[in-house]
Structure formats: C-alpha cells, structure tokens
A and B are shown apart, each in its own frame.
Chain A
C-alpha cells in the first residue's frame, strides 16, 4: 500500500505549519463559510438572488469560469518548453503549473455547479446514466474535456510526487506520453470553451473565428501571470526556489502571447469599425456605452490599457528582469485578462439582447460571496497540494527522511 502511505504522510504535512500558515487557512475557511451562506441562500431563493435576468442570462459566474479555464490550460505553457526541449530551469517548476491547473479546474467545475438552476439534476449530464448530448452540444464536450484534463493532471502529479517521495525513478515511457497528451488536451479545454460561445450564430459579438485563437493567446498570458505571482509569494514564505532565468523566460514568452492577443483584438476592432454594420453595437457598448448606460465603459478601456502597459513591461528586457516591474506586469496582465474574460466578453455579448433591448447588469452581493467562496476553496486546495510538493521537492520530505526520524514506520 505504497500510495496510501504517501497520502497518509502527506496529510501530516498539510495539517502542520507555522502560525502564519494557520492564519492563512483560517482566512480561507472564513471566506468559504461566508460563500456558503450565499450559496445556501441561492439554493433556497433560486438565482433570483443574482442580478442575472433573461436578457443577460450568463454573467459573473460564467465569466469566472471562462477565466479559470484559461488559467488551467496555461499549465501547458510551462510543460511545452520544459519537456520537449528539456530546459531544466523551467522543468523544476512545471509541477507547480500542474498543481495550479488542478485547482483551477476544480474552481471551473464549481462555477458551473453554482450557475446551474437545478444542481441536483446534474446527473443528467453523466454519460450512460443521464443523457449527455453528444456531439451536438458544446457544453457536453466541455464537461468531457474538463473532466479528462482534471484526472490526467491528477494522475501525472500524484505519480510524480509519489515517485519523488519514494526516491524512485519515474517511468519515462509512461510519463512522457501522458504529459504529451496533456498538451492537446489543455488546448482542447480552452478551444472547446471558446467554441461554446463562438458557435452561437445569434450573438455576433462571439460569432467570430478569432475567438478561440484569442482565448488561447490570453490564456498563455494570464496562467503564467498567476504562476509568477504565486512563485514570488512562495519564494518569500516557503523554502520554494526558482531560478531567475526561468521566470524571465516565462515573462518573455508571455510578452509574445500578449502581443498576439492584442493583435487579434485590433484585427477584430478594425473589422467591426470599418465595416460599420449593426454588429458594431456590442463593441460600441463596451467602449462608448449606450445613451446614459456607460457603466461598463471603464472596464473596456481599463482592460485594454492595462494589457498594453503589461505588454510593454514584459517586452523590454530591463523591466522584465526587474523584480518590481516584473511583478507589476504580472498583476496587470492578470487583471487585464480577468476583466476581459469576466466582464468584457460576456456582458457586451448579451447587450443589447437579441431583441435589441438593454439590461444593466452588476453582480449582486450573493454572486460576489459565492464567487469568493469558490476562489477560497481553490486556494485552499492549491495551498495543500503545493505544501506537499514543496516539502518533497525542497525540504527533503521522503520515505528516507521519515525512516531516519522514526526507525519503525509500521508503528
């Protein structure tokens, strides 16, 4: 029962920590409880407690879902150079990207669950037991690729950590194909999520062939941005180590991805503005507002300006290699993509609605509470699995070290 032993010992790692660690856990737990009260209210009253209505039927929850699919997919950003080109400095941190992917996919699934009106009926989506509609529904495809991606990353990570714990060599013939398979699957989760919007002919704002490529480009920015921030925090608070060249390399790749993202954006703006058809109205709503309804305009411009600044910070080697500007750039990229996916993708897509009417949406307190709760659950999972990974990789937590401490491990 090797793996069970590993799980048991890892559990010990997770429950022990410094005062700061416990404070962090308490903070997350408080958020989770706060979020749960919101969700319980939502279960009782229905989605009426959100500010979604018929004209804007998907909003903050699905926006967060879309953003997190990008974060989850971004693990590949690190996997590709690390495993294919065997570039060592990144290889050491790839596993943390995968841990982030696991946590992000869990958050994605939770955001879908809270958005669904009848969560108890979700069994209708289980293949064979329910009636999952393949191949016609993109949502059915999305549920399949997300589940696959989750289990694939879970298997790779637990296999790797387990092997490191027992100081065993990993079986390359087995691990490499799995990791290689995770690359198309990561592209798959984001492409399918983009197609989910893209395939809707009745929503011209999404019905552009550039949507999936744009999703990928922005994921290549936001995922590593989250990782860079996390790496800095881990470096300060734990024994985690990462070479500066690795971070710089990641930042350089992000600059290219951001350039492509911005280029796609301008290509879309040109097409809409120059052809000046009735479809322009959605873009106009985002950047100019309609009549007195200008709430969203600040987000449209903020996302664009922030993304351009971040692009410049990561493009110029001097600012890329400076810790302060690097972190600033990472935070800006994260923020830019978060606004783009969370607000600028969904709300203008639904406004004006399919009959030309305008409904002003702002997330309700319940929506914010529930979302915070889900983020707290994601962070809690990430904290736990990262703590185990750090212990194994940097703190010599292994079967040998345990044997040294306790001569009779069988008790």
Chain B
C-alpha cells in the first residue's frame, strides 16, 4: 500500500498541476485569439439552463451578429409556450399531388442552407399498387407534371414523436420536447455527433455539413431562437412546426402554402379544432408504428 502511495502521490500532484497549467495556458491562448463574440458563444450555457436575462443577452448578441452578416434587421424571439396547447399535424395522402411547394416554402421560411441544399420536408413518390412502401419509393422523381400516373405521394418531415428516439440518444441534452409538443434543438449546444440522425427512423434530422449559405435577398429575418434563426456549420436541425409562427397563433408555412389543402394543423387539446375533427372522423395511420415512437404527425385518407 505504502509503495503505491509513494509512487502515486507525486504523479497525482504533478499531473494535476501540469494539467491545470496546460489547460489554463491553452485555453487562455485560444480564448485571447478569438473575438469577444466567439468567446461568449463558446462559453454559452444551454438554453434550458439560462435565466431570462441571459437569454435576452444572447439574443441581443445574435441579432447584432445576424444584422452584420446579412445586412438586415433581425428579430430573434424566445417566445414561450401558449398555455393549454399541444400541437398535432395531419396530412391527407389522397389530396397530396407531389408538387413540392411545401419543400421550398419551408426552405425560405426556415432559412435552410442552400449549399448543399437542405430540406426539412422529403416528398416520396410511391406506386399505387404497392401502397406505403418506403424501400420502393423515390425521393428524386422528376416529371414534367405531377401527379404522375399510377403514383401517389407521401411527404415526410419530423413526426414530432411523443417518444422521440433522437432526444433519448443525445449525449448532451441539446434536443428536447417543449410542453407544446415540439421537438427542438439548441443549435448552440449541439456538439454535432449526429447520433440523433442515426436514431431517427424518419430521416427527419439534417446536418449542416458545410458553412451555412443563405441568400440575403430571400432570408427570413423573423426568427425564433429554437426555430428558424440562421444555423451553424456542424450542428443538427429539423422541422419545428414553424415554432416562430405557431407560437404566434399562425399556421406552419407548409400548411399555408399547400395548393390542395392536404395539410392540417392544430391544437390537440382544443376539442373544436380541425385536427381533433380529423382524428375523430377519419381513420389515421402513423409511419412505422411498430417502433413505438408515437408521432403527433398523422396521415389520413380524406376522401
């Protein structure tokens, strides 16, 4: 015992002081090399641990940064949940014509990077004979006109699971479900390990592989901290039901833009809502129900 004590105590002391000085010096060098903004960004706490004042400060910093970068006045909201709301979504498979207007409206509304293109909504073309069959579906269909003969369309985006595997696997708690039922990501806390992307059964999580490239002309400056504010290289993002809109009492952009009214959205706790009407009067299906993810995104046949 005493031998080890003799041997280990000098290591401990030595290692500790060495590590300490190494850590202090290297972090001092690293921190002094970068600007105040990046320093604050680097040491920023995660969203859920921040006080209201801290959030306000971060938002001010972000608004200044975005304004400088994109030459536009930005508003970054941190608006909280509206009480007594739990959002749900329904998509009428019999109506969808596969025009992909939702895909591109979403890109503009939510400031997805353009290079390489990132889409939160993926529209799959399927053969009518096969039914909903992902393996034989085609994401890259390219016809002169849609709907294409003998085919139907299944748009897939975040299914806003009640039992989300992506939240379960995140090693740092950078993604969670808000009380109004939206699975969100803290883009400043995400380390970019992409475990959530492996875990998601719907391919709904997307990654900024390179620097985020946005058009200053078309950029949407009305943003939410947990939603469509410009993102970072090396962080994951996903559909948030347009949190910046729905928390203001508006519809998600995809619902608004759909030319055939295939997309329905509402408060599941409101008995008079359209979404409740659909759940009660139509027969809904959910994707990959065997995985017990319990989506709040329902598919139904309206006609």
Contact B194–A355 (Cβ < 8 Å): no
Question: Contacts A2-B7, A117-B233 known; A137 to B171 CB distance under 8 Å?
Answer: yes
Contact A200–B165 (Cβ < 8 Å): yes
**Which of A3, A52, A137, A171 contacts B195, CB < 8 Å?**
A137
Give the chain B neighbours of A124 by CB distance below 8 A. Answer: 46, 172, 174, 189, 191
Q: How far is the CA of A367 from the CA of B165 in the complex (A)?
A: 28
Question: What's the minimum C-beta distance from B1 to chain A, rounded to whole angstroms?
Answer: 7
Contact A200–B172 (Cβ < 8 Å): no
Q: Which of A128-136, A210-218, A235-243, A398-406 contacts B (4 or more CB under 8 A)?
A: A128-136
Contact B191–A281 (Cβ < 8 Å): no
Contact B203–A171 (Cβ < 8 Å): no
B29 within 8 A of A: no
Q: Which of A11-19, A42-50, A245-253 contacts B (4 or more CB under 8 A)?
A: A42-50
Q: Which of A54-62, A92-100, A305-313, A334-342 contacts B (4 or more CB under 8 A)?
A: A54-62
Q: How far is the CA of A136 from the CA of B173 in the complex (A)?
A: 10
Contact B192–A171 (Cβ < 8 Å): no
Contact B168–A136 (Cβ < 8 Å): yes
Give the chain B neighbours of A20 by CB distance below 8 A. Answer: none
Give the chain B neighbours of A275 by CB distance below 8 A. Answer: none
Interface string of A112-146 (1 = CB under 8 A from B): 10011111111011000011110011111001000
Contact B191–A122 (Cβ < 8 Å): yes
Closest to A202 in B: B201
Give the chain A neighbours of B134 by CB distance below 8 A. Answer: 352, 354-356
Closest to B140 in A: A357
Q: How far is the CA of A55 from the CA of B118 in the complex (A)?
A: 12
Contact B210–A48 (Cβ < 8 Å): yes
Closest to A120 in B: B42
B193 within 8 A of A: yes
Give the chain B neighbours of A125 by CB distance below 8 A. Answer: 171-172, 191
Contact A52–B209 (Cβ < 8 Å): yes
**Which of B191, B194, B211 contacts A57, CB < 8 Å?**
B194
Question: What's the minimum C-beta distance from B213 to chain A, rounded to whole angstroms?
Answer: 11
Interface string of B114-134 (1 = CB under 8 A from A): 001010001010000000011
Q: How far is the CA of A47 from the CA of B4 in the complex (A)?
A: 46
Question: Contacts A159-B7, A354-B203, A355-B156 known; A202 to B165 CB distance under 8 Å?
Answer: yes
Contact A202–B199 (Cβ < 8 Å): yes
Contact B170–A48 (Cβ < 8 Å): no
**Which of B4, B49, B169 contacts A131, CB < 8 Å?**
B49
Q: How far is the CA of A281 from the CA of B202 in the complex (A)?
A: 17
B200 within 8 A of A: yes
Give the chain A neighbours of B193 by CB distance below 8 A. Answer: 112, 115-117, 139
Contact B190–A143 (Cβ < 8 Å): no
B198 within 8 A of A: yes
Q: How far is the CA of A120 from the CA of B233 in the complex (A)?
A: 12
Question: What's the minimum C-beta distance from A284 to chain B, rounded to whole angstroms?
Answer: 11
Question: What's the minimum C-beta distance from B103 to chain A, rounded to whole angstroms?
Answer: 14
Give the chain B neighbours of A46 by CB distance below 8 A. Answer: 208-211, 233-234
Question: What's the minimum C-beta distance from A302 to chain B, rounded to whole angstroms?
Answer: 25
Contact A130–B10 (Cβ < 8 Å): no
Contact B1–A173 (Cβ < 8 Å): yes
Question: Contacts A202-B165, A354-B200 known; A131 to B3 CB distance under 8 Å?
Answer: no
* A47, A55, A203, A352: residue with the most chain B Cβ atoms closer than 10 Å: A47
B11 within 8 A of A: yes
Closest to A6 in B: B7
Contact B173–A133 (Cβ < 8 Å): yes
Question: What's the minimum C-beta distance from B121 to chain A, rounded to whole angstroms?
Answer: 12
B137 within 8 A of A: yes
Question: What's the minimum C-beta distance from B208 to chain A, rounded to whole angstroms?
Answer: 7
Question: What's the minimum C-beta distance from A123 to chain B, rounded to whole angstroms?
Answer: 9
Contact B124–A137 (Cβ < 8 Å): no
Give the chain A neighbours of B189 by CB distance below 8 A. Answer: 121, 124, 131
Closest to B210 in A: A48
B179 within 8 A of A: no
Give the chain A neighbours of B140 by CB distance below 8 A. Answer: 357
Contact B291–A54 (Cβ < 8 Å): no
Give the chain A neighbours of B291 by CB distance below 8 A. Answer: 201-202
Contact A133–B170 (Cβ < 8 Å): yes
Which positions 170-198 of chain B face chain A at CB distance < 8 Å? 170-174, 189-195, 197-198
Q: How far is the CA of A385 from the CA of B104 in the complex (A)?
A: 57
Interface string of A139-180 (1 = CB under 8 A from B): 110010000000000010011001100001001011000000
Q: How far is the CA of A119 from the CA of B190 in the complex (A)?
A: 10
A1 within 8 A of B: yes
A294 within 8 A of B: no
Give the chain A neighbours of B209 by CB distance below 8 A. Answer: 46-48, 50, 52-53
Closest to A290 in B: B135
A84 within 8 A of B: no
Which B residues fall within an 8 A CB radius of A?
A: 1, 3-4, 6-8, 10-11, 14, 42, 46, 49, 116, 118, 122, 124, 133-137, 139-140, 156, 165, 168-174, 189-195, 197-203, 205-211, 232-235, 288, 291-292
Q: List 6 A-B contacts (CB under 8 A).
A: A46-B234, A124-B46, A139-B171, A202-B202, A350-B198, A355-B134
Closest 4 CB pairs of A and B: A117-B192, A117-B234, A202-B201, A48-B210
